[in-house]
Structures are given as structure tokens and as C-alpha cells.
Amino acid sequence: MSNLSLFEEKFSIKFNSTDLLKQALTHRSYLNENPSSVLGHNERLEFLGDAVLELVVTENLYQKFPEKPEGELTSFRAALVNSKMLADVAVEIDINDFLLLSRGEAKDMGRARQYILANAFEALIGAIYLDQGYDTVKNFINNVLITRWLGDVLQNKLYKDPKSLFQEEAQERVGITPTYNVLREWGPDHDKHFVVGVFLGRELVAEGEGPSKQAGQEEAARLGLKAKGWG
């Protein structure tokens, strides 16, 4: 783990309790290999940070879009606080360089790491809130998430779920309603994996993988939009 003071300098936040910052960046798996660690893992901070994040984003959108109804604001917020977006933000602000993980988790750069990064970002928000207060954490969220990503969300219609967007584009452009078929599935009930294909007529446009059929469909639609250059 790199020197935490570098992390503080990066965001001009000087923690009163560096233990809070360290705990925010400590994954449960690290404690399994380091039972002598006096700090806990970051899940309680993640729980708090999730609520703080939702409040800050909600307040910002409420003030920024006085003409928008609740449904649209909810969609905007969901696009800003989903795990993929938060993982992308975490990567951009170099949380990866500071995470405390088990050796096994440190090697895994797949979907599991995405959730770990998203959760660590929420835990970091919880830590900043406890240590520095609401105004500081609000500025942090505005800088690294809302100001940085809201324009992208609106311009690329990321507030629409991929399936809805792919269907709209397919019907408008080629007059076909997409269909989805499970191509492969494996794993025990508690750890299922599905590969789902999205089709336009007989054309297989893209394949998506996920832990449920719904997740596989959404990933297939997202990749289908990319494959077609739509949206």
C-alpha cells in the first residue's frame, strides 16, 4: 500500500484520523491474512458512505434540474451511483494503488474487483464524512463524480438502461425488436453464470455475461450498442 499522505495530498484533504482512511481502504479479505490488524474492514463505512453519496447526488440533481420530474431525476441518480460508474471513478482517482487486499483478491482484476472498488469508494465517502463533515465530502463527490461524469451521463443517455436504449435504437433504425437467448450457463445455484445473446432477427449482435439472465441481457445490450455504434 502506498503512503496514504499521497492520497490526502491528491484531494487536499488532511484526515484528523488516518486510521479512518486506512479502514476505508481495507477489504475484508486482507484481515483474513492479517488477523493482527487492529483496524476493521470497510463494510460499515461503505454502508454509511452509500447513504451520504445518495444524499449529495440527490441534492445536486434536485437543485440543478428544477423542471425535471422525480422519475427522470431517479434515472440520472441511478446512472451516477451504480457500481460500474463508482468503480470507474475509483480507478480514475487511483484507489487501486491504496487498497489493502488479500494476495488472491489482489490478483483478480475481473468483475469482483469492480465491486471491491465501488465499495471502497463508498467507504472512502463515509470516512471523509465522519472525519471532515458534510461540506467537505459534498465538495469531494461533486469534484470526482458529478462535475466529472454528469455531462457524459446525459450526452450518452447512460441514464437509460441498455436494454431499453438498444430496443429504441433497433426499432428506429432497422424496424426490428431485439430478442435475447441464453447461449450458455454454468455453475452451482449460488454462483451461476449466464451468457446471453442479443439478436436482431437471426443476426447475433453481441453476447453478454452475468450472474443472472437479466444481468446477461443488460450486458449483451450494452455491448450491442457498442457493436452497432448506436447511442
pLDDT tens per residue across span 52-110? 999 999 999 999 999 999 988 988 998 999 888 999 999 999 998 899 988 877 776 66
HSE value, Cβ hemisphere, 13 Å, CA-based, for 155:
5
Say whether both 26 and 121 belong to one domain. yes
Say whether both 150 and 168 belong to one domain. no
- Using DSSP, state whether 28 is helix, strand or coil: helix
Active site residue 97: no
Say whether both 81 and 187 belong to one domain. no
19's CB contacts (< 8 A; 6+ apart) are 39
Domain ends where: 106, 140, 155?
A: 155
Question: Which residues form the domain of 77?
Answer: 4-155
> How many distinct structural domains can be found in the chain?
2
Say whether both 100 and 40 belong to one domain. yes
Say whether both 34 and 119 belong to one domain. yes
Distance of alpha carbon 2 from alpha carbon 98, whole angstroms: 6
Distances (CA, A) of 48 to 89, 105, 122: 18, 24, 8
Higher confidence at residue 225 or residue 159? 225
Say whether both 119 and 170 belong to one domain. no
Angle at 159 between CA 202 and CA 71, to 5 degrees: 115
Say whether both 133 and 66 belong to one domain. yes
CATH number of the structural domain spanning residue 33: 1.10.1520.10
Say whether both 115 and 224 belong to one domain. no
Say whether both 71 and 101 belong to one domain. yes
Say whether both 117 and 191 belong to one domain. no
Give the pLDDT confidence of 23-40 residue by residue, as tens digits.
Answer: 999 999 999 888 888 889
Euclidean distance between the first and final Cα of the chain, in Å?
Answer: 39
CA nearest neighbour of 58 among 79, 34, 74, 37? 74
Say whether both 173 and 134 belong to one domain. no
This prediction has a pTM of: 0.75
Active site residue 19: no
Q: What would the grid cell of residue 202 be?
A: 437471426
Say whether both 120 and 15 belong to one domain. yes
Distances (CA, A) of 130 to 48, 58, 113, 145: 9, 20, 25, 19
Exactly one of 46, 50, 131, 169 is catalytic; name it. 50
Exactly one of 105, 122, 131, 218 is catalytic; name it. 122
CATH number of the structural domain spanning residue 183: 3.30.160.20
